[in-house]
Amino acid sequence: ERKGMIGNIYSMGLALQALEASRDFYTPRDWDCAQAFAVVTNHTFELPMAIAQVLPALVGTSYLDAATLSCDVPMDLCPSLGTHRVPRGMMIPPGASQIPQSPQDITVHYSIINKLQGTPFHYNISVMVAGDSTLLEVLEEAEKKDPKNFSFKTEQTFWGPMVVSIHGLAASDNDRTYWQFLSSGKPLDQGVGTYKPHSGEHIQAIFSTY
């Protein structure tokens, strides 16, 4: 139903490891892991944490097997979860070019919305960035273009930069508040440091509670 996605792109590595590790505790069944591996291999992982979680699954093992893993022994992908093996060609996303191309500039629409705390605000801006820009670069361009309204702060985490404040309004663990980023009303499945908006996309940052 979700075309192989388990949770979101950040959870895929651990999810595939869990499926591998749980084979001894559940009744074996034929599971088409090719779709799930297609999600992983068609995505470019840049964060070390995400890469570290995905790599064990790509060799058909998990963190639990790290102590006994022999790197010299060739293994099929997903050997025990089913009968489907991920084709070698799937390691390169379909349509991926081997020749670097200069990305064209795109326009991204960006909104910040607060109806939760203090004085409400809602600001919109459109910025032009290179086609391969991350959302973080969109935020930086918006701040450069209109620093009064679109200033922001980030904190570095194992999963990359996390936005903790926009327009002077900071997230708070005590108040259980945070800045949530959405596209077409749906939460983004990546962080600002890796998500790459497409041309004409409307990104919303909404001050929310959890």
Quick one: which of 53, 49, 61, 47 has its CA closest to 12? 53
Measured CA to CA, the distance from residue 123 to residue 208 in angstroms comes to 16
Q: What is the chain's percent helix, strand, coil content, to nearest 5?
A: 25, 25, 50
Burial readout 117-147 (b: 16 or more C-beta within 10 A, e: otherwise): eeeeeebebebebeeebbbbbbbbbbbeeee
d(CA 203, CA 102): 24
Q: Nearest CA to 64 among 33, 23, 35?
A: 23
Distance CA 86, CA 36 (A): 10
Q: Report whether 110 belongs to an annotated binding site.
A: no
CA atoms of 44 and 195, how far apart (whole Å): 10
Nearest to 132 by CA among 156, 155, 154, 108: 108
Query: d(Cα 63, Cα 18) in Å, to the nearest integer?
Result: 9
User: Contact 194/138 with Cβ under 8 angstroms?
Assistant: no
According to the annotation, is 210 in a ligand binding site? Answer: yes
Binding residues: 8, 53, 188, 210
Binding residues for cyanocob(III)alamin: 8, 53, 188, 210
